[in-house]
Structure 1
Amino acid sequence: MQVELAEERIYRVADRFSLEHAEGRAWAKRVEAFGALARVAGLFNQPKDDDFAVVYRERRLQPFWRVAVSTATAYERRRSYAVPVAPEVRQVAVDGRTLVAVNGAISFDGLESCREEARREVFVDGLSKQATPALAAYLQHDAVETDAQTLAKATAEGMVVVPPQAKASMVVRDVVAAAIGKIDADTVTEELVRVEAIDLYYRPIHAFRYRRADKEAVVEFDAVTGEARVGGDTFEQYLGKALEPRFLLDVGAETLNFVVPGANLAKLIIVKGMEMKGMR
């Protein structure tokens, strides 16, 4: 089996909305953030702005993975074919051979040459580790390729860069395992797995934590889609911490060895760093 691995890449999706715009949208949801009782109470006793205080503002980059895998398998297998004939037929001459009809059919053996191709593109939330097809929508927006060193500079400027809980090797392993299907073959003449993209995307999120009396609540604002939602979270534990650059560089032969039945490293031909132009 030949496995072609694209280089791991990091992209940062560009902000479409400013922090000031985000804070205004989040402020409009401050009452809703404290739950249904607060909303009902607000119908009878409109809360004052002074009742709320912004105790924390967060600009963060939140991760998700895009992994694209294509497979091609060529193989051969011998099969017997039964061809129905009319009841009165006793035998049929085919290419110099005489085939005797039995139970209303003639039969012969043949060698089938087969080829199967498939492609999967999966988007995985970097925190929940769940496949999330809706994340594909972020690829419609501007994004720039970046690296761990550039992201480290962003952390020094107050940006929270959240490391993915889902590692590249785990995501690739799962996608490849799902892409490799079972085949019914006598002889395999070609096995190719192309991991076309191993891309880590960071999307910008603004989060605001409000305090009202003795309670706190968070409103998140997506700086790409413009969506504001309550019940989010903040990630102060990563504030000021630089991204570990090695977390992306963990996809190799060992990763694929786990998903190829009966394979060992000697049976895998790994081509690392192939260029997949126009894949983004």
Structure 2
Amino acid sequence: MTNRLRYLDNAEKIFVFDQVYTLTAASEQATRKKLSAFGMFAKLNLFNRPKDETVLLSKHELRYEPFWHAVAIRSADYSRELVYPVEIGNAFANRVLIDGKEYPVVEQGGKRLISLPGVEYSHRQIVFDEYVDGLARELKKGALAHYFKKQYKVQERTALELPEAVVPQLRLPTLLQQIHQKLAADVINAHEFQEDLITIEKVHLYYRPVFAFEFTWTTEDKVGVIEVDGLTGDVIENGQWFKEKLQAITTREMLFEVGSELAGVLVPGGSAAVKVIERVTADNGRSRT
């Protein structure tokens, strides 16, 4: 049996974190670390390394970087056939009659047993609940979840009016494909599935403020970027400069590309990886807070 996918209509939301650090504070943080903008090798090179007077600030920006919080649940009802070994306490019994059927008593591992065939009916839930970088980078484990533990202020938006917002490189269809692959990869030992349902409950897109400072090593004609987290003030020495910004007002519908594209991504090559794709409202589906 193939997985059936259910997608809650209210699963898609956009949030923007309120900036905590000011430009002045972030600039001070970056300036203290500017000699580290060109890599560890340059910093430790005794014969040719950057110095305060040769490293100058060339440009800076406050940008908003995307990340996802996705929650999905795979619910499986399934059955499997198996044989239960039942120990017989009577040392003289050689067969047992149960519901009109005889079962021979056999010696096995120092025990006297009969074997009863049966069918187990089970229900299992597998949860996907992860924070995923929208720029497809490998971040420190727990770094994104940390923002919620610290309870930084965040506002829900129906549209983005942030020209500084970076365009997600990990788009929703690809994220959904990753979720489906991870949940489907969890092996369930079954002879038959009565139901195998994946429910996409939450795909929230968050934007967090990040300051980026580009420094030029004037004597070597090299540039490096120092990033400062606009919420925590943490410094990243090997930073990046992202050119692709949203530029204009972007609606939620424009950011969440699902529709017919969803089926094409989750069913690669037209195979039956997902049998049915349903869209249901929160009233018809299970909700999660």
TM bin (shorter chain): 0.7 to 0.9
Taking the TM superposition and a 5 Å limit, the aligned residue runs for 1:226-237 are: 226-237=233-244
Query: What amino acid is the match of 1:68?
Result: V
What corresponds to 1:111 in structure 2? 119
Question: Mean alpha-carbon deviation: is it higher for 223-232 or for 87-96?
Answer: 87-96
Question: Mean alpha-carbon deviation: is it higher for 242-251 or for 18-27?
Answer: 242-251
Note closer, same or farther for the CA distance 1:31–1:102 as it changes in structure 2 (3 Å cut). closer
Do residues 210 (structure 1) and 241 (structure 2) align? no
What corresponds to 2:145 in structure 1? 136
Tell me, what secondary structure is at the counterpart of 2:35?
helix
Question: Mean alpha-carbon deviation: is it higher for 32-41 or for 52-61?
Answer: 32-41
Note closer, same or farther for the CA distance 1:212–1:255 as it changes in structure 2 (3 Å cut). closer
Displacement of 1:19 in angstroms is: 1.3
Displacement of 1:164 in angstroms is: 1.2
CA deviations 1:45-96 (Å, max 9, x no partner) are: 9745xx5432211111111122111121112233222324365321123355
Equivalent in 122, 146, 152 of residue 157 of structure 2 = 146
Tell me, what secondary structure is at the counterpart of 2:145?
helix
Displacement of 1:262 in angstroms is: 4.0
Query: What amino acid is the match of 1:138?
Result: Y
Equivalent in 52, 61, 66 of residue 63 of structure 1 = 66
Note closer, same or farther for the CA distance 1:116–1:239 as it changes in structure 2 (3 Å cut). closer
Displacement of 1:130 in angstroms is: 4.8
What corresponds to 2:105 in structure 1? 101
Gaps of 5+ in 1: none
What corresponds to 1:223 in structure 2? 230
What corresponds to 2:172 in structure 1? 168
Q: Is the 8 A contact 2:66 2:206 kept in 1?
A: yes
What corresponds to 1:191 in structure 2? 196
Displacement of 1:18 in angstroms is: 1.1
Note closer, same or farther for the CA distance 1:183–1:256 as it changes in structure 2 (3 Å cut). same
Please state which structure has a larger fraction of its residues in helix: 1
Distance 1:196 1:179 in 2: 14
What TM-score results when the alignment is normalised by the length of structure 2? 0.77
Q: Is the 8 A contact 1:66 1:122 kept in 2?
A: yes
Distance 1:4 1:195 in 2: 6
Q: Is the 8 A contact 2:35 2:51 kept in 1?
A: no
Equivalent in 53, 56, 75 of residue 72 of structure 1 = 75
Note closer, same or farther for the CA distance 1:173–1:14 as it changes in structure 2 (3 Å cut). same
Note closer, same or farther for the CA distance 1:131–1:17 as it changes in structure 2 (3 Å cut). closer
Percent of pairs with identical residues = 25
Tell me, what secondary structure is at the counterpart of 2:106?
coil
Tell me, what secondary structure is at the counterpart of 1:184?
coil
Q: Is the 8 A contact 2:201 2:287 kept in 1?
A: no
Equivalent in 109, 132, 149 of residue 124 of structure 1 = 132
What TM-score results when the alignment is normalised by the length of structure 1? 0.79
Displacement of 1:258 in angstroms is: 4.7
Q: Is the 8 A contact 1:73 1:191 kept in 2?
A: yes
